[in-house]
Amino acid sequence: MDTLIAKSILSEIKKAKKILLALHVSPDPDGASSVLALDLVLKKMGKKTKLISYSQIPFEISGLPGIEKIKMADFAKENLADFDLFISLDSAQSRMVTRSPWPEKFPPKFKIINIDHHVSGQKFGDINLVEVISSTAEVLYDLFQAWRVKIDKEVAYLLFWGIFADTGCFQYPSTSPKTLRIAADLLEKGGSLNDCVLLDFRSYNFKTLKYWGRILANMQMDESGLFIWSKITRAENEELGVNPTEIMSAATLFAPIVFGTKFGIILHEEGENLIRGSLRSRAEDFDVSKIATEFGGGGHQRAAGFSLALPMAEAEKKVLEVARKLVVK
């Protein structure tokens, strides 16, 4: 943790009267729990806050304590003159905050703080704290330690959930010895391993299971034998009636598990000419974020994503071309 950056962030927070916090597009447990944990700390500092999400809240994070505080709104359409400070959490690029065009100008004295953990992160804030570690929740833990903020039961519960989820129950390579020590400390302070296991791994609605079945039915092996892919068309999505955010859990479960492959891709036709891609790697020597960045997306070596404004057939062709080119390098 860069202590000078930590002090700079705290200084901006102390000067601000009202702070805007936003979940990234297609929110996940790490991003949501980090926003909610930081909000609790800011409230104890006497700050007024507003929490927004561009996307609807998916089922997988609907049980997070305090989730009802987050309102559907678009950052790019907010009256930013109402705020002194915007803190972006868990967003590798500004396009992860909003699908609308990024504002060309901001009000005088309005500041942006970017707190993130993605290796592909673009430092779009006035102050950037980007640590390539397990999760944004772990970055916040270190930040709170630098600020000498006492982590109470509610904050510990949220931070543990974020770390647990973004490490896939501590199974991803980003899980370091330090990550496990932090997780243990958060468990002692109020985190719940039982709740995380139950809600992250054992609580799925019936439509989700039907969706997963279709993912498996549509799965194909590339002729190279080095990767698999699957897709869900808009018609199938409407038939199944699932929340489009379900692609994330499907990708994690099925994209990286085929023996002999290096990675997997899932393409989801979210709307007309809007394809969302999710990639997961099973091989330490293949970085799926390289595929994602070819399409303006990003993420980690083992997990990444992107969006394409194309029909499914065109998107599939382009993605497979890039994947085949990169997998043989």
Residue type, 287: D
> Which residues does 29 contact at the CB level (< 8 Å), separation at least 6?
60, 61, 64, 161, 162, 164, 165, 166, 200
* pLDDT attached to residue 246: 64
User: 147 and 22, same structural domain?
Assistant: yes
Last residue of a domain, one of 201, 226, 257: 201
| Claim to verify: residue 171 and residue 313 sit in the same structural domain | no
118, 22: one domain: yes
Residue 135 tokens read as: 């999760």
Q: How far apart are CA 139 and CA 87, in angstroms?
A: 14
Give pLDDT, residue 33. 97
Name the pTM for this structure.
0.78
214 and 196 in a common domain: no
Q: Note whether 150 and 189 are same-domain residues.
A: yes
pLDDT tens for the 329 residues of the chain, in order:
889 999 999 999 999 999 999 999 888 899 999 999 999 999 999 999 999 999 888 877 888 999 999 999 999 999 999 999 999 999 988 888 998 889 888 999 899 999 999 876 678 899 999 999 999 999 999 999 999 999 999 999 999 999 999 998 998 888 999 999 999 999 999 999 999 998 887 877 788 889 999 999 999 999 999 999 999 999 998 898 876 666 667 888 898 899 999 999 999 998 888 999 999 998 778 999 999 999 988 887 888 889 999 999 999 999 999 999 999 86
What pLDDT score was predicted for residue 248?
65
> How many domains are contained in the chain?
2
AA letter at 121: G
Q: Please tell me whether residues 122 and 106 are part of one structural domain.
A: yes
Q: The domain that contains 321 carries what CATH number?
A: 3.10.310.30
Torsion over CA: 162, 165, 166, 167 (sign): positive
Contact predicate 24/71, CB 8 Å: no
What's the confidence (pLDDT) of residue 178? 97
Q: Where does a domain end: 170, 201, 232?
A: 201
Residue 195 confidence (pLDDT): 92
Which residue is it, tokens 């009802």? 68
Structure tokens at 72: 């559907």
Give dist(CA 304, CA 255) in Å, integer.
Answer: 12
- In terms of phi and psi (left: phi > 0; alpha: psi -120 to 50; beta: otherwise), the region of 141 is alpha
Alpha-carbon span 232 to 235, nearest angstrom? 8
Segments of the chain assigned E as strands: 18-23, 48-53, 70-72, 85-89, 111-116, 127-130, 220-221, 227-232, 263-271, 274-281, 298-299, 303-308
In this prediction, residue 303 carries a pLDDT of 86
- The CATH number covering residue 171 comes to 3.90.1640.10
**What is the per-residue pLDDT for 283?**
77
Report whether 135 contacts 163 (CB < 8 A). yes
197 and 220 in one domain? no
13-43 burial, b at 16+ Cβ within 10 Å, e below that, comes to beebeebbbbbbbbbbbbbbbbbbbbbbbbe
Domain containing 317 equals 207-327
Same domain, 38 and 134: yes
Task: Indicate whether 87 and 212 sit together in one domain.
Answer: no
DSSP code per residue over 113-158:
EEEE--TT----SSEEEE--SS-HHHHHHHHHHHHT----HHHHHH
Q: Which residues contact 17 (CB under 8 A, 6 or more apart)?
A: 47, 48, 84
Please tell me whether residues 53 and 111 are part of one structural domain. yes
Whether 134 contacts 110, CB under 8 Å: no
On whether the CB atoms of residues 295 and 93 are closer than 8 A, the answer is: no
13 token code pair: 């927070």
pLDDT score at 245: 60
Residue 272 confidence (pLDDT): 86
10 Å CB burial of residue 106 (0-12, 13-18, 19+) is middle
Using the 3D structure, point to which of 180, 201, 222 is the last residue of a domain. 201
pLDDT for 204 equals 79
Q: Do 287 and 195 have their domain in common?
A: no
271 and 166 belong to one structural domain: no
